[in-house]
DNA sequence: CGAGCGTTTGAAATCGGTCAACAGCAGTGG
DNA sequence: CCACTGCTGTTGACCGATTTCAAACGCTCG
């Protein structure tokens, strides 16, 4: 994990393609320009690196520039719960604002980069730019909604429903970023998927096999192809629309 | 559900005992005075009334003045997931900011009252009062942390661990509000507890019986007495400190 | 090429779910 | 004041989805 000035790679918010997901949503060019001076550094992470860890003092929140991260809680007895998988344009570290300490670990699942948003400077700027303030509120709120949908999944759905909606959720979020909605690479292990969904890795594996037999998907290693979207929707979504992209 | 002007009952933020949990945390007297003019009305709810419903357009967020509310998602097939039980001083409706529509139903579990915070006016004021802005960020962030702890519970704990940490969580939150940490009234049914914890009402009932036999609690109807806190902590918390009051 | 994960698959065990009967208490109305 | 009714909660018996334990397979990377 090392820091690099954003100028080095000449990537500023004002030119970033992720603007439509991230902090700049709803801002005009002039306002985005002001953010450029706020976000002057990025962090480069290698697979497995931590962006932050539970207990670290919060000084910044982050926007994912590229890559995939997971956030997780670890219990003293070794059990762990993954609370989210995070894609470019999403913000991380928000759970640390409450008492100035990150409440979870954020770990890179592949080589990734995150933009550093110094939080006290951000709050100052947000007071000057109403649309920035509002967008931040929206981001926090959507994060809440996302977690609550996840709660619904863990609390009310059966294993196959959870997995189906997980696959569709990724499909939507990747599609929104211009990737194929029907074919993508899972950056996480079966165990991590299981942790996220509150089931065992063996169950995940068995379900993938079952879905394949039913002609719903094709999967080879971590490369997955969604064959029968309607079938998956029926499994996951007949009962709900949990997967539906709440990530803008 | 009817609206009443706050002046009527002469209860303003500046004199409200819940200030230590709610929006005014960290504000000085003068600043709190400004909030008074923002929060000019309250809503009175009878048991069973909805403060808002999924899909309603958001115009305000709420602070609970007294009473207890639940927030829930309902699936088309009838299953429902309760995502939270909310006590005085907590804010509600935050999940609606993301796209201007409440994402859940908020239902009163007993006669309750909530202060109306008109959201667009609030944002204006928050730009003028840095400590108000920051406190709102903290509230949102803590809400996130709370949900993630809940995720951990549903994803990684066994039924008895979930119930034990549920009881301790309430204990802490009530204690913070000046009530007894060891004896309180459950405002929700076994079914609602089960929904919140992702288990069946029969399981909740059986566990209460088991806890009673083990001398951990005494329970009569919905009145519960926590006898052996350490024992409960061992069940719930040996593996974690999930229950620990994140609500300020 | 071999070591070591990550993954798949099978068989047995179990926690919690489902179905069902009943008990307790609250409210209603005769 | 006491049935009657209905809702909430308790308890039992059985069932089944998921976990657990175990073994084998197959990438991937040094």
Q: What is the pLDDT of residues A67-77, one digit of tens each?
A: 999 999 988 88
Give the residue among A224, A216, A172 at the shortest CA–CA distance from A193. A224
Q: Is B130 helix (H, G, I), strand (E, B) or coil?
A: helix
Q: In this complex, is the C-beta atom of B168 within 8 Å of any C-beta atom belonging to chain A?
A: no
For position B78, what pLDDT does the model report?
80
Q: How far apart are CA B80 and CA B92, in angstroms?
A: 19
pLDDT by residue (tens digit) across B123-155?
A: 999 999 999 999 999 999 999 999 999 999 999
Q: In this predicted structure, what is the pLDDT of residue B1? A: 62
Of B111, B106, B72, B77, residue with least CA distance to B90:
B106
| Backbone φ and ψ of A223, nearest 5° | -95, 120
The values of phi and psi at residue A63, to 5°, are: -115, 130
Q: Please, are residues A151 and B154 in contact by the beta-carbon 8 Å criterion?
A: yes
| Residue whose structure tokens are 């604002």 | A97
User: Residue A42 pLDDT > 50, yes or no?
Assistant: yes
Decide: helix, strand or coil at residue A86. Answer: strand
Q: Is the CB of A159 under 7 A from strand C?
A: no
Length B153 CA → D7 C1' (Å): 30
List domains and CATH numbers for chain B: 2-136 (2.60.120.10), 157-237 (1.10.10.10)
Q: How many CA atoms lie within 13 A of B141 on its CB side?
A: 24
Interface of B with A in 58-87 (CB under 8 A): 73, 75-77, 79-81, 83
Give chain B residues 148-167 with Cβ within 7 A of strand C: 158-160
pLDDT, position B76: 82
Instruction: Identify the CA nearest to B156 among candidates A162, A104, A199, A86.
Output: A199
Q: By the 8 A CB rule, do A204 and A190 touch?
A: yes
Shortest CA distance from B147: residue in chain A:
A147
Q: Are B166 and B157 in contact (CB under 8 A)?
A: no
Tell the residue number behind the tokens 């909530």, with chain if given.
B114
Angle between helices A29-36 and A130-156 (to 10 degrees): 80
pLDDT in tens, B4-47: 776 655 578 888 889 888 999 999 999 999 999 999 999 999 99
pLDDT of residue B247: 45
Spacing of B53 CA from D7 C1' in Å: 25
- Summarised one tens digit per residue, pLDDT across range B156-204 is 999 999 999 999 999 999 999 999 999 999 999 999 999 999 999 999 9
What's the CA B218/C1' C30 distance, rounded, in angstroms? 39
Whether the predicted pLDDT of A236 surpasses 90: no
Q: Does A225 touch chain B (CB under 8 A)?
A: no
CA A209, A214, A216, A217 dihedral sign is positive
Contacts of B76 in chain A (CB under 8 A): 238-240
Chain B residue whose CA is closest to A93: B141
Dig out the tokens for B240 from the structure: 């974690």
The 10s digit of each residue's pLDDT in A170-218 is: 999 999 999 999 999 999 999 999 999 999 999 999 999 999 999 999 9
Q: Which of A125, A132, A211, A99 shows the shortest CA–CA distance to A166?
A: A211
Contact A151 B80 (CB under 8 A): no
CA B48 from centre of chain: 16
The Cα A156–Cα A203 span in angstroms is 17
pLDDT in tens, B206-222: 999 999 999 999 999 99
């Amino acid at each position: 994990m090392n820091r690099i000035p954003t100028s080095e790679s000449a990537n500023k918010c004002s030119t970033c393609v992720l603007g439509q997901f991230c902090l700049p949503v709803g801002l005009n060019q002039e306002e985005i320009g002001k953010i450029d001076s706020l976000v002057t550094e990025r962090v480069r992470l290698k697979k497995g690196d931590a962006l932050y860890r539970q207990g670290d003092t919060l000084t910044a929140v982050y926007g994912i520039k590229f890559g995939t991260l997971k956030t997780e809680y670890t219990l003293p007895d070794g059990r762990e719960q993954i609370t989210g998988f995070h894609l470019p344009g999403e913000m991380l570290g928000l759970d640390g604002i409450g008492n100035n300490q990150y409440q979870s670990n954020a770990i890179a699942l592949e080589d990734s980069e995150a933009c550093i948003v110094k939080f006290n400077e951000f709050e100052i700027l947000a007071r000057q730019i109403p649309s920035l303030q509002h967008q931040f509120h929206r981001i926090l709120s959507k994060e809440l909604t996302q977690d609550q949908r996840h709660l619904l999944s863990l609390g009310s759905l059966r294993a196959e429903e959870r997995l189906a909606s997980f696959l569709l959720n990724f499909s939507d979020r990747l599609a929104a970023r211009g990737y194929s909605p029907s074919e993508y690479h899972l950056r996480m292990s079966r165990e991590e998927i299981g942790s996220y969904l509150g089931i065992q890795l063996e169950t995940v594996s068995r379900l993938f096999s079952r879905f394949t037999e039913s002609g719903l998907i094709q999967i080879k290693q971590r490369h997955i192809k969604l064959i029968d979207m309607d079938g998956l929707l029926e499994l996951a979504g007949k009962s709900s629309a949990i997967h539906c992209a709440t990530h803008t």
